[in-house]
Amino acid sequence: MWYQLINKTGVLGTNDQAQTELFHGGDMDAFANTSEGNNIQPATEPLQDVPLERRPVFWFYGSSSIAYGIKDNAFSYVLLIFANQALGVPGYLASIALAVAIVWDALSDPLLGHWSDKTRSKLGRRHPFMYAALFIFPAGFYALFNPLTDARGEDAFVYILILAMLVRTGTTLFEVPCTALLPELEKDYDRRNKWLALRHLLGWTGGNGIHIVNLAFWMGAYGFAETTGYAMYGTAGAIIIMMTIIVCSLGTQKEAMNMPPPAETFRLNDIGREFSQIFESLKNRNFAALFSYSLLGGAAAGLHTALYLYNVRYFFEFSGTEIAITGVALLLAPLFSFMLSPRLGLKYGKKKTAIGLALLRLILFPMPYVAVLLGLWPELQSPASIALYTTFVFVEVTAIVVSATMIDSMMADLAEDSQMKTNRRSEGLLYATRGFAGKFVSAAGIISAGFIVSAVGFDSINTLADFTDAHRYDLATLFLPVYCTLVLGAITCINLYKISRESHAENLQRLKERSVNLGTDQA
């Protein structure tokens, strides 16, 4: 029977491609309403038998994360120190600007995700938004690091705020609908891990690739307090972001056009009903587990990444070139994770793998800081110090990427779990709302980082000579306890997630049975 193909992967080829795609990735009600729903025949060479590496859409989809990786690197590691030390914005004020931008982004994400779930277009549900990002995202990124005004100090606060909001809006337009393509592109529980492993690999490669170049030749070479290096960084980043949007959007366009339209469209004139459907989709216990994880994990990530350059430059006393060396580990670790993630997910399951690797990272992370404070670390600025730190970074990032891949794949499995309860495909909304949680509380982490920057005294520290052992102690004791507590809470939330390989297969089985019954009723 045709419906036995539902457990296979990829976009199925059939004698009636549009009808098959309608069932494979889309709304069951929409499929049941088609006249030929019960007469689909399997293809002679179904795409699930073709290795993913030989399917161009696999690479085009994965490439989308390069743009996000570059934006994430900028907002996580560069923007706070750029505003604070290059433009002279006080640390607490710069962090407030970034936090407000995150709140704006977080509030817009769920609405746009729901909108893309219910968009009818010849280009597909997601691509109109992805193309719209082309006109906002690259230009905003360029202008952010190439200021169009001469404002400095507190006067630059408004500029940073407006441009940060613009870049985040562009990111939402591209990232949210693009991410939501996966549950329709791939149904198989385990193969989803491989799609997302590639996405994480290329996202980390894009973000950390430009990170290495920036610290070796731009920001690191010209100085953290000079605007010249940041301008080069902004220009290169904008060009790569633009090319990524074009390549990914065009490369996934054909598949998107073959995906089914939603059973109903977004109604702005009935916004109350739309919000009612949003809340209905979000009342899912498994989603609540990942949402809570994102709340705590986002706060931890916002705190850590905003302080990253302060930590490596001042706490560990690495030069720009040495920080770039550690970045090589950030390039190699995701490649290792790309090979490791599907294997661990297949052997141990997604939840156990995510928890185990997150715990490993939590144990390793504070060790270098504690060793420095206790005098057990190699002499700062020595080759042994950079070598040992790079080793820690390699293992930590490997654990981070594998764990994050599993979490994202668990999110993809929510699409069918949610559909069982609502009869709607809501992957755009689910991914966006989970992102909303992380971004919203990441603002709290960034604000905390800004206050730590001011509390430690960085507003008057511009060189290593200004940084004392007392500053080092204050930085570690203010940062580590909060960060580790947040991460431990996030790991606890993962344990509340209940979808397994078996329950996912059961959801697919029940959905296909429901579609058959609906088709019979229509007949």
| Structural contact between residues 84 and 90, judged by C-beta atoms closer than 8 angstroms | yes
Q: Which one, of 238, 229, 289, lies nearest residue 495 by Cα?
A: 289
| 466-498 residue pLDDT tens | 888 888 899 899 899 989 999 999 999 998 888
Q: Which residues of 247-276 are buried (b: 16+ CB within 10 A; e: fewer)?
A: bbbebbbebbebbbbbbeebeeeeeeebee
- By percentage, how much of the chain surpasses pLDDT 90? 22
Provide DSSP, 199-233. HHHHHHHHHHHHHHHHHHHSHHHH-TT-HHHHHHH
pLDDT at 165 over 50: yes
Degrees, nearest 5: CA angle 423-429-431: 115
Residue 178, CA distances (Å) to 225, 408, 492 in order: 36, 13, 29
Amino acid in the structure at residue 196: L
Higher per-residue confidence, 372 vs 153: 372
CA distance 92 to 106: 21
CA distance 275 to 356: 37
Number of neighbouring beta carbons within 10 Å of residue 70: 25
| Structural contact between residues 497 and 290, judged by C-beta atoms closer than 8 angstroms | yes
- 363 falls in which pLDDT band (50, 70, 90)? very high
Q: Which residues of 507-519 are buried (b: 16+ CB within 10 A; e: fewer)?
A: bbeebbebbbebb
| 83-112 residue pLDDT tens | 888 888 887 788 788 778 877 876 777 777
Contacts of 442 (CB under 8 A, 6+ apart): 102, 298, 299, 301, 302
Degrees, nearest 5: CA angle 326-328-331: 125
| 306-348 residue pLDDT tens | 788 788 888 999 887 888 788 777 778 888 888 899 899 989 9
Q: What is the pLDDT of residue 108?
A: 76
Q: What is the pLDDT of residue 1?
A: 29
Q: What is the pLDDT of residue 426?
A: 65
- By percentage, how much of the chain surpasses pLDDT 70? 80
CA distance 97 to 301: 17
Q: What is the pLDDT of residue 132?
A: 92
**Could you tell me the two tokens for 68?**
């996000």
For the CA atoms of 167, 172, 175, 181, what is the dihedral angle to 10 degrees? -160
DSSP state, 154? G
Q: Which one, of 177, 207, 225, lies nearest residue 76 by Cα?
A: 207
pLDDT at 456 over 50: yes
Number of neighbouring beta carbons within 10 Å of residue 120: 13
Amino acid in the structure at residue 116: S
- 414 falls in which pLDDT band (50, 70, 90)? confident
Q: Which one, of 3, 67, 58, lies nearest residue 32 by Cα?
A: 3
Q: What is the average per-residue pLDDT within 11-28?
A: 35
Collapse the DSSP code of 14 into the 3-class scheme (helix H, G, I; strand E, B; otherwise coil) and give the result.
strand
| Structural contact between residues 37 and 1, judged by C-beta atoms closer than 8 angstroms | no
Q: What is the pLDDT of residue 375?
A: 92
Residue 380, Cβ density class (10 Å: 0-12 exposed, 13-18 middle, ≥19 buried): middle
Q: What is the pLDDT of residue 438?
A: 65
Collapse the DSSP code of 42 into the 3-class scheme (helix H, G, I; strand E, B; otherwise coil) and give the result.
strand
Q: What is the average per-residue pLDDT within 232-245?
A: 95
The pTM for the full model equals: 0.68
Q: What is the average per-residue pLDDT within 178-195?
A: 83
| 113-125 residue pLDDT tens | 777 777 788 887 7
Residue with tokens 């906002």: 136
Higher per-residue confidence, 267 vs 202: 202
Higher per-residue confidence, 274 vs 466: 466
Higher per-residue confidence, 97 vs 425: 97
Q: What is the average per-residue pLDDT within 404-424?
A: 79
Residue 339, Cβ density class (10 Å: 0-12 exposed, 13-18 middle, ≥19 buried): exposed
CATH of 48-515, one of 3.30.420.40, 1.20.1250.20, 3.30.1300.10, 3.90.470.10: 1.20.1250.20
pLDDT at 517 over 70: no
| 325-334 residue pLDDT tens | 887 777 788 8
Contacts of 181 (CB under 8 A, 6+ apart): 61, 126, 252, 255, 256
User: Domain map of the chain by residue range?
Assistant: 2-47, 48-515
